[in-house]
A and B are shown apart, each in its own frame.
Chain A
Amino acid sequence: MDGITIKSKVESVDSSSNSKLASIFCMRNIKQGSMIFLMSAVTLILLSPVIYMVFMSFRSRREIMMEPLALPTKFHFSNYLNVIADMNYLGTVMNTVGVTVVTIILVSILSSLAAYPLARLRSKVSSLVYVFFLLGMVIPPFAALTPLYLFIRDLGLLDTYAALVIVYTVGHLPLGVFFYTSFMKAIPKELEEAATLDGASPLKIYWYVIFPMLKPITGTLAIFITLGVWNDVVNPLLFITTNEKLTIMPAVLRFLGTYSVDPTKLFPAAVLASLPLLVVFFALSKQIVNGMTAGAVK
């Protein structure tokens, strides 16, 4: 995409005279350079609280109190070791990853399946159902905890990962339906029509024609779900009673005492909690960002 843009720009400039070209190029370079400088500065400013958090996580309590802004003089890795030991780090990360992956798979299948008729059928029923789903995004947290708990108990799923998977899956269905419906409307109908003429059933068409085209938007959805699961505190504490099964955020937040906050525990725990996300994000940034951006808007 970038390649094409640049090429077409160059071509369009080519048509004018050479001296003009040189001056435009020069001007554009200066302009581009200053824009790059400006955006880099802005980015650095926006990232400074994160950098501050990382620096703080290596400092001792005493250093933090006496000079809140100073750089670490010596890296106190002991902060990290203490926290890692206290929070069963690897275990909670693995739990969270497992629950997240299963949730993403379920949400993407269930909500894309539901979005297919919603995007394709123009009837009162389908637009009503669509609005009914969207209502789910508006519901405030805590509105239904006790009835939900009773339900999960009656299913015999207390203290299981399945409880979390169900709650997260259902919780993200409205978002999934919102994303997939708007995305599917932009997919041309011709492909399906050809397949229908070949005698394929609607389910087959969905699975072999539609679903493969949903990859980009699924990337977007996956990010929303990951952030949602990763940062949730309420549900694990409600449904999980065995410490070994906890997900990451409740394990981090236990370092916030009820009546005092210890920065040498809070900051390392905060860094550790976000670290797996950051690693995955940077490793997959190309795919994720492309998917996210392609998906959300089309």
Chain B
Amino acid sequence: MELKNAVAGSLLATCMFSLSTQAATELEVSSWKGAGAEVANFPLIIERFEEKYPDIKVKLNYMARNDMVTSIPARMQAGNPPDVVMVDAEFILHWGGNGQLMPLNDQAYVERVQPHLKRFLGLGDDIYYSMLQVSGMGVYVNDDLFRQAGVESYPNTIDELVGACKAFNDKGIQPLLMAANNGGWTPYVYFLAMALADSDTPNPTRIDDFVSGEKKFADDQAMKNAFEGFRAMINADCFDPMVSAGTDPWSVALTTFQSGRVAMLPQGMWNITPFSNDQLPENFSLHPFPVINGSKPVVMDYNGPGWAIPKDSGQVEAAKKWIDFWMTDENLKEYLTADTSITTLQGGTSGVPSLAAPYEDARTAGQVVTFPVGSIPADLGAEMPHDITSFMLDPDQDYNAILARWDKLVEKELN
């Protein structure tokens, strides 16, 4: 009986579904932004799109990023993918690399993207997606705690940071939280910021030399210095390694910083909006990372997600319209403001508020490195955070062994 109902129900639903598709082309968009925790102004942009193209109806299929890993490959493999998918560097590497994404080289939007970002839009000569945003990682600062501890200026280098940590500790304030639960994300990011910035204007393609085997991790002084940087921070009690290892960067770390329990938190730019909405901490700002290899602090770009078209997409023309529509400043800026991030368009409008001015200034001055997801082999990307967390918990170990292990992983990948 119930089965009959269920079947009848689904039949009915199918009928209604086909009725509505007669009126319009239905564009199925799979995305991990646009609803739930991250609405990001999607309703407004979709409304505008449907107004401009009345014959296209957008069906937003929202799911968490992790869930896309289960559902999208199965659908691609079955030749039945969504018409548009949200992808990031990792998905480009695996799906694009296996011929599942449609090359978009001849699309008009490509010319509108900032030139230095173009090499991140695909693999080799193929362009696979429209990067919607550059987000980034820096250090959130609780301005009131800085004032309390009498730390006047933001530290540019690890040496200066060590000094600041002393001031904080003297006042009984926990200086920094290197939230490492759930895979060691923060130490990984901080390590890369120090290690990739080998000078005050780091070479943006530096990581590629290691991945191609041209340079060895074990021979690189900047990499070794980054480990020394960790040692210096730990010796100065800048953060408690164990507390950090037990703090989840995506949930608990945020509440810990917001409640004023720690003066500095390395985190992503996307937290500006929730922090501002809560007005917690009351006064905060976003800064670049203090460095070990130079004298000027750096920020870390995080190349954001964007739209791609699976090769078996059923609505290629509508999908292309969708991508082009997003990659115009008037629409994109609505998204960027809601998601507080930097535009990828030439002359485009970013959505970053003034409290991130120190961050933006550093970025404009070229003190920037890029988070290397998608440009390093997956197992290296999985091992590095573990190794760095392990070093953080036991800083007396020999980091040369760790670096040599990374070289081995690269070698394995090259063979």
Contact = CB atoms under 8 A, between A and B. Distances in A.
Direct contact of A and B (CB under 8 A): yes
Contact of A62 (B14, B66, B75, B280): B280
A202 to B, nearest CB: 25
Contact of B13 (A62, A98, A149, A242): A242
A253 interface: yes
B250 A261 contact: yes
Given A102-B3, A162-B7, A165-B3, A64 B78 contact: no
B37 A243 contact: no
A239 to B, nearest CB: 8
Interface in A84-135: 86, 98-99, 101-102, 105-106
Interface string A221-250: 000000000000110011001111100001
B255 A263 contact: yes
Does more than half of chain A's interface fall in helix, strand or loop, or is it mixed? Answer: helix
Interface stretch (A15-23, A70-78, A153-161, A276-284): A153-161
A262 B71 contact: no
A145 interface: yes
Contact of A263 (B28, B60, B70, B251): B251
B22 interface: no
Q: Could you say which of A68, A142, A261 has the most chain B C-beta atoms within 10 Å of its C-beta?
A: A261
B78 A149 contact: yes
A70 to B, nearest CB: 12
How many residues of B sit at the interface, in one of the four size bands?
35 or more
Given A259-B250, A262-B37, A250 B67 contact: yes
B62 A243 contact: yes
B67 A149 contact: no
A256 interface: yes
Given A65-B280, A66-B259, A98-B6, A262 B65 contact: no
Contacts of A257: 36-38, 250
Interface string A29-71: 0000000000000000000000000000000011011101000
A254 B36 contact: yes
Does more than half of chain B's interface fall in helix, strand or loop, or is it mixed? Answer: helix
B373 to A, nearest CB: 13
Interface residues of A, number: 46
27 contacts: A61-B280, A65-B259, A98-B9, A99-B6, A102-B6, A105-B2, A106-B3, A145-B70, A146-B73, A146-B74, A149-B74, A153-B80, A158-B80, A161-B6, A161-B9, A162-B7, A165-B3, A237-B71, A254-B37, A254-B62, A254-B63, A254-B64, A257-B36, A258-B65, A260-B251, A260-B271, A263-B255
Contacts of B259: 65-66
Interface of A: 61-62, 64-66, 68, 86, 98-99, 101-102, 105-106, 142, 145-146, 149-150, 153, 158, 160-162, 165, 233-234, 237-238, 241-245, 250, 253-263, 265
Contacts of A160: 10, 13-14
B3 A105 contact: yes
Contacts of B3: 102, 105-106, 165
Contacts of B258: 65
Nearest to B38: A257
Contacts of B65: 258
A62 B77 contact: no
Contacts of A149: 74-75, 77-78
Contacts of A255: 36-37
Nearest to B80: A153
Contacts of A99: 6
A101 B254 CA distance: 41
B280 A86 contact: no
B115 interface: no
B280 A161 contact: no
A258 B38 contact: yes
Nearest to B2: A102
B274 A260 contact: yes
Nearest to A169: B3
Given A149-B77, A150-B78, A241-B61, A260 B70 contact: no
Given A61-B278, A254-B63, 17 more contacts: A65-B259, A86-B36, A99-B6, A102-B3, A105-B2, A146-B73, A149-B77, A150-B78, A153-B78, A161-B10, A165-B3, A243-B60, A243-B61, A254-B36, A258-B64, A260-B250, A261-B250
A64 B271 CA distance: 17
Contacts of B36: 86, 254-257, 265
> What 7 A-B pairs come out closest when comparing CB atoms?
A257-B37, A254-B36, A149-B74, A261-B251, A160-B10, A65-B259, A258-B65
B102 interface: no
B5 interface: yes
B75 A242 contact: no
Contacts of A102: 2-3, 6
Given A146-B73, A242-B17, A250-B63, A262 B274 contact: yes
B14 to A, nearest CB: 7
A96 B258 CA distance: 37
A207 B170 CA distance: 79
Contacts of B251: 260-261, 263
A132 B10 CA distance: 33
A64 B255 contact: yes
Contacts of A62: 278-280
B32 interface: yes
